[in-house]
Amino acid sequence: MVKIALFLAAGFLIGCSGHIKEKGLRWSGRIQTIFLLLLIFCMGASIGRNEEVISSLSRIGMGAFLFAAATAAGSLLLVWLVQRCFFSGEVKK
């Protein structure tokens, strides 16, 4: 967890310093998307290979769905709040 926080902080500092130009930001977004999709694929493959998870899907299905939905909704809400509070009028497309 500490490694993740350090890398996140380093990326934040580099981003704030202006060392990455507009073209670099576009490539960064594409690379993030590719690796995020790869991560999701690997997680799905890992879950699919786990016999214990597969055999207990009927028991944990709704709870897992509700937890995932609440997590996604909370993440979206937090992103919306941060964007509204800190980046109003500054977001460029």
Spatial contact of 20 and 14, defined as CB atoms under 8 Å apart: yes
62 shares a domain with 50: no
Helix residue ranges per DSSP H, 50-87: 51-55, 57-86
76/40 Cα distance (integer angstroms): 18
In a domain, 30, yes or no: yes
69 shares a domain with 50: no
In a domain, 14, yes or no: no
DSSP state of 21: -
pLDDT, tens digit, 9 for 90 and up, residues 19-36: 777 777 778 888 989 999
Total tally of structural domains belonging to the chain: 2
Output the CA–CA distances (angstroms, integers) from residue 56 to 45, 52, 53, 68, 90, in the order listed.
17, 6, 5, 17, 47
75 shares a domain with 47: no
pTM value is: 0.50
65 shares a domain with 47: no
pLDDT, tens digit, 9 for 90 and up, residues 50-67: 988 888 877 887 888 899
31/20 Cα distance (integer angstroms): 14
What domain range is 45 assigned to?
A: 25-55
